[in-house]
């Protein structure tokens, strides 16, 4: 099976004025296959979000190679990337334009792709229903809905172009525990229905345990541990991994 995502020796170095350079991601490599859920786990500052931002071209890599669906996209235009990869962020309200309705935000990519306005509105209603929201949410603004509802709308927006890979960057960390469980269950259902792969980035190893097929643990820009959730949690090899487990279990 051709990997949907291949990361080879990825590196990101940030330059600091008057100071030495800072290596945020250091020689990271991993693959994902279609339909897989891969957990990228680590504390804030470990490099997880930097990896995600390089995959979607919000940041340019300092070195290494990124392939999507067998195609080298290391230097590709962000518009070419977003046809195959979509991202759901930590703060859903901030990811929507506060001056536009949720329906406008979800339907924007459909209109850009040339769908007629009436057809786009129908598709927005279908997408909202697919994430457990009624179609009338299309007329609401981000500040008029709860965090969980807004995150469901953000997932609907990501699904609009039928991506092959969904990246969730701390997509549940701003939500309470009950809503976290609902969003994870929704993502699991959508992955099965759409055949998507999911890169699930979080700091909570327990949350990823019941959702992900494999876990990668990042520390100071490097992947320090890899395995199935049971392997990593029941038999951690690194002291850092043990610390993450002890903090939540």
Burial 140-153 (b: 16+ CB within 10 A, else e): bbbeebebbbbbbb
Residue 64 resides in a domain: yes
Whether residue 34 is found in the same domain as residue 150: no
Structure tokens at 222: 């490097």
Which residues in the chain belong to E strands, given as ranges?
Answer: 5-14, 22-32, 37-41, 63-68, 71-72, 85-88, 165-169, 197-202, 214-219, 222-227
Whether residue 77 is found in the same domain as residue 190: yes
Look at residue 91 and tell me whether its pLDDT is greater than 90.
Answer: no
Whether residue 101 is found in the same domain as residue 118: yes
Rounded-to-integer distance, Cα 241 and Cα 219, Å: 9
Whether residue 75 is found in the same domain as residue 104: no
The arithmetic mean of pLDDT across residues 26-48, rounded, is 95
pLDDT digits (tens, 9 = 90+) for 185-203: 999 998 888 889 999 999 8
Whether residue 232 is found in the same domain as residue 122: no
Look at residue 18 and tell me whether its pLDDT is greater than 70.
Answer: no
- Answer with the one of 116, 132, 162 that is the final residue of a domain: 162
Q: CA distances (Å), 92 to each of 43, 89, 105, 128, 185, in order? A: 21, 6, 12, 15, 18
Residue 150 resides in a domain: yes
Domain that holds residue 4: 1-82+181-249
- Using CA of residue 93, residue 96, residue 98, residue 101, what is the dihedral sign? negative
pLDDT of residue 139: 96
Whether the Cβ atoms of residue 14 and residue 25 lie closer than 8 Å to each other:
no
Confidence of residue 206 (pLDDT cuts 50, 70, 90): confident
Whether residue 47 is found in the same domain as residue 156: no
Whether the Cβ atoms of residue 64 and residue 238 lie closer than 8 Å to each other:
no
- Answer with the one of 103, 128, 162 that is the final residue of a domain: 162
- Angle in degrees, CA 160, 162, 163, rounded to 5: 115
Whether residue 140 is found in the same domain as residue 215: no
Rounded-to-integer distance, Cα 151 and Cα 95, Å: 9
Residue 111 resides in a domain: yes
CATH of the domain at 193: 3.40.50.300
Residue 173 resides in a domain: no
Whether residue 60 is found in the same domain as residue 130: no
Whether residue 77 is found in the same domain as residue 12: yes
Whether residue 1 is found in the same domain as residue 71: yes
Residue 125 resides in a domain: yes
Whether the Cβ atoms of residue 2 and residue 70 lie closer than 8 Å to each other:
yes
Say which residues have a Cβ less than 8 Å from residue 122's Cβ, sequence separation at least 6.
none
Residue 175 resides in a domain: no
Whether residue 33 is found in the same domain as residue 56: yes
pTM assigned to the model: 0.92
């Amino acid at each position: 099976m051709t990997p949907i995502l291949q990361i080879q020796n990825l590196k990101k170095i940030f330059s600091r004025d008057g100071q030495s350079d800072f290596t945020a991601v250091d020689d990271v490599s991993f693959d994902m296959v279609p339909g897989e859920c891969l957990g990228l786990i680590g504390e804030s500052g470990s490099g997880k979000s930097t990896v995600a931002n390089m995959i979607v071209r919000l940041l340019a890599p300092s070195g290494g190679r990124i392939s999507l669906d067998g195609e080298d996209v290391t230097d590709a235009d962000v518009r070419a990337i977003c046809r195959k990869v979509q991202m759901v962020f930590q703060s859903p309200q901030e990811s929507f334009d506060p001056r536009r309705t949720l329906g406008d935000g979800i339907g924007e990519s459909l209109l850009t792709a040339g769908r007629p306005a009436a057809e786009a509105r129908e598709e927005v209603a279908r997408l909202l229903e697919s994430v457990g929201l009624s179609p009338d949410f299309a007329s609401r603004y981000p500040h008029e809905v709860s965090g969980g509802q807004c995150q469901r709308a953000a997932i609907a927006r990501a699904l609009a172009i039928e991506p092959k890979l969904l990246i969730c960057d701390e997509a549940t960390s701003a939500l309470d525990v009950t809503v976290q469980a609902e969003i994870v269950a929704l993502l699991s259902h959508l992955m099965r229905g759409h055949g998507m792969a999911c890169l699930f980035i979080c700091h909570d190893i327990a949350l990823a345990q019941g959702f992900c097929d494999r876990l990668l643990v990042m520390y100071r820009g490097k992947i320090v541990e890899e395995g199935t959730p049971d392997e990593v949690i029941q038999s951690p090899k690194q002291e850092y991994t043990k610390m993450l487990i002890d903090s939540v279990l």
